Amino acid sequence: MSVRFLRAVRRPLSWAAWLCAASLSLGLSTPVPAAQQVSVDPSLPDYVPHQEVAGSVVGYSGMDTVERMMAAWNSAFRKFHPNAHFSVVQKDGLAPEDRIALGPDTMEVFHPTNLAYENAYGYEPFRVKVCAAAYVLKSHVSAIGVYVNKDNPLTSISLRKLDAIFSAERRRGYPADITTWGQLGLGGSWADEPIHIYGFYWRDDVTDYFRKLVMLDAPFKSSYDVPGGDMSRNTPKVAAAIMSALAQDPYGISFGNASYMTDQVKPLGLSENGVESQFTLNDIASGRYPLQRYLYIYVNRKPGQPLNPLMKEFLRFVLSRQGQSLVSKDQYLPLPASVDARELRKLN
């Protein structure tokens, strides 16, 4: 039976069949460490208070993997400012998942676009990167990998070509639509084989991030396939089905959290503007890898106005060497020094 025929009959399969296949595939998975940590860059600034502050601030997030980090930040910050207190409340259904809305008048950030916030306040939300996403961890905001079958000879791909595979609009400027593996330099029996593109429901957070970063917000091609036809935000179930699809289909390509990767699938190296990086802890933690994600704190700051002093001191602490040393409490990665410096400048 050819791969093309397998693909033709794949769509009608029930979720039960998909999950059975996914379970078999996941049984072959490569063990993933429970945590991956890297050292905090010693060039990050030490926290030195600029002024004494006091007050209590509550934040909200849809993620349940930021609470230990937030508690550690609060405890360490209170050593400098005993009358200050910061906490976060986790609420199911708040998305996107990469953010903490801190303080009053911020809940509108929990929408796929800034439109709700802009309609409410008349300006864009203010946000600061506070740590880098995890490497390979389930139930965390994690770096996004691009995957193919383990037998695929391809080892790396540029974002321009990746855009031309997933989107017909090619906003990154690649001159031609890419539909076969031969267009990526594969020869022999691979040359004329079609590229099968898999992914998540378009409203999933991972999908939204991939679209924005790789496709510059363009729509997916009509051939974009969500395995099993799941149109919900059940990311774990769809992620397992995607990896199962790639394990069975040597001509498939997809993206997602590496914690669902099996030993039948491999990640590709990525290049942007001629700089190539690999899906490794070192390249992701350094900021070289282009599909790294970040966690953000959002506060309501009117353009041209100074930050609330309490908020500013807390964010300065979070971006300090002491603050970044605590992100491992929830197994996230510290910011590279260059990224940290840019975020600090936003506070002025």
Helix (H) or strand (E) holding 5: helix 3-10
Separation CA 173–CA 76 (nearest Å): 47
The pLDDT, as a whole number, for residue 3 is: 34
What digits encode the pLDDT tens for the residues 96-152? 989 999 999 999 999 988 999 999 999 999 999 999 999 987 778 899 999 999 999
Q: How many CA atoms lie within 13 A of 153 on its CB side?
A: 10
Q: Among residues 286, 308, 324, which one ends one of the domains?
A: 286
Range of the domain at 100: 55-135+295-346
Q: How many CB atoms lie within 10 A of CB 312?
A: 18
Residues 209 and 256 in one domain: yes
Measured in degrees and rounded to the nearest 5, phi and psi for residue 160 equal: -60, -45
The two structure tokens encoding residue 101: 């809305």
Q: Is residue 119 part of a domain?
A: yes
Residues 270 and 160 in one domain: yes
Q: What is the CATH number of the domain that holds 272?
A: 3.40.190.10
Q: How far is CA 200 from CA 125, 128, 174, 252, in A?
A: 27, 27, 24, 14
Kindly state whether residue 114 falls inside one of the protein's structural domains.
yes
Residues 169 and 226 in one domain: yes
Q: Are residues 270 and 154 in the same domain?
A: yes
**Angle 7-11-15 from CA coordinates, rounded to 5°:** 125
One domain, residues 316 and 218: no
Q: 3-class SS at 12?
A: coil
Q: pLDDT by residue (tens digit) across 158-184?
A: 999 999 999 999 999 999 999 999 999
What tokens were used for 344?
Answer: 């600090």
- Judge whether 227 and 18 are in contact, CB under 8 Å: yes
pTM comes to: 0.86
Token pair in block for residue 274: 């001629």
pLDDT tens for each residue of 290-343: 999 999 999 999 999 999 999 999 999 999 999 999 999 888 999 999 999 999
Q: What percent of the chain has pLDDT over 90?
A: 76
Residues 66 and 117 in one domain: yes
Note whether 161 and 234 are same-domain residues: yes
Tell whether 303 and 273 lie within a shared domain.
no
Judge contact between 226 and 198, C-beta under 8 A.
Answer: yes
**In this structure, are 71 and 190 located in the same domain?**
no
Residues 218 and 324 in one domain: no
**Cα separation of 54 and 26, whole Å?**
50
Q: Are residues 262 and 165 in the same domain?
A: yes
How many domains, the chain? 2
Residue 233 confidence class, pLDDT cut points 50, 70, 90 = low
Q: Are residues 319 and 274 in the same domain?
A: no
**What local confidence, expressed as pLDDT, does residue 25 receive?**
37
Confirm whether 332 is domain-assigned: yes
79 inside domain? yes
Does a structural domain hold residue 26?
A: no
Decide which of 169 and 3 is more confident.
169
CA distance 245 to 280: 23
Of 286, 310, 327, the domain-final residue = 286
Confirm if 214 and 162 have CB atoms less than 8 A apart. Answer: yes
Q: Does residue 3 fall inside a structural domain?
A: no
Model confidence at 73, pLDDT cuts 50, 70, 90, reads very high
61, two tokens:
């997030």
Within a domain: 186:
yes
Q: What is the mean pLDDT of residues 60-65?
A: 91
Residue 118's pLDDT is: 97
Q: What share of the chain is helix, strand, coil (3-state, %, to 5)?
A: 35, 20, 45
Of 260, 286, 312, the last residue of a domain is: 286
Report yes or no on 81 lying in a domain: yes
